[in-house]
Amino acid sequence: TQLLEQSPQFLSIQEGENLTVYCNSSSVFSSLQWYRQEPGEGPVLLVTVVTGGEVKKLKRLTFQFGDARKDSSLHITAAQPGDTGLYLCAGNSGNTPLVFGKGTRLSVIA
């Protein structure tokens, strides 16, 4: 069974701080996706990474896929209250459905 472990589970920071959240597995994934879910809504895709070592930037968010395609990180620079939400990573391998981590719940306090 493939598992994705996300850490930390909860994170509460002040506006303007930087943070990194992690998504780790012992399995290799052909691609990895990051979603953000806000209260009362479904998850929304932020990015997909497919190549080992790949780095993608989305404004203040930087996503990295590990060289071995077993892990990923999300770094947020100068966090804002609008970044508050549940961040989920999800991995795909072969023909199986996506495997989701349990998420990191981020709270950015103004």
103 φ/ψ sector (left φ>0, alpha ψ -120 to 50, else beta): left
45 binds other proteins (CB under 8 A): yes
41 binds other proteins (CB under 8 A): yes
Q: Across-strand partners of 34?
A: 47, 89
Give the x-and-dash track for 66-95 against other proteins (CB under 8 A): ----------------------x-x-x--x
Cα 26 to the chain's mean position, in Å? 17
14 binds other proteins (CB under 8 A): no
Question: Which of 56, 73, 75, 102 touches other proteins by CB under 8 A?
Answer: 102
Q: Cβ of residue 110: shortest distance to other proteins, in angstroms?
A: 25
Q: Cβ of residue 100: shortest distance to other proteins, in angstroms?
A: 4
Residue labelled with tokens 């080992």: 52
For residues 104 and 97, give the distance between their C-alpha atoms in angstroms, rounded to a whole number. 21
Distances (CA, A) of 92 to 3, 49, 61, 85, 110: 11, 11, 22, 23, 36
Q: Cβ of residue 90: shortest distance to other proteins, in angstroms?
A: 8
- Contacting residues toward other proteins, per CB under 8 A: 30-31, 33, 40-45, 48, 50, 88, 90, 92, 95-98, 100-103
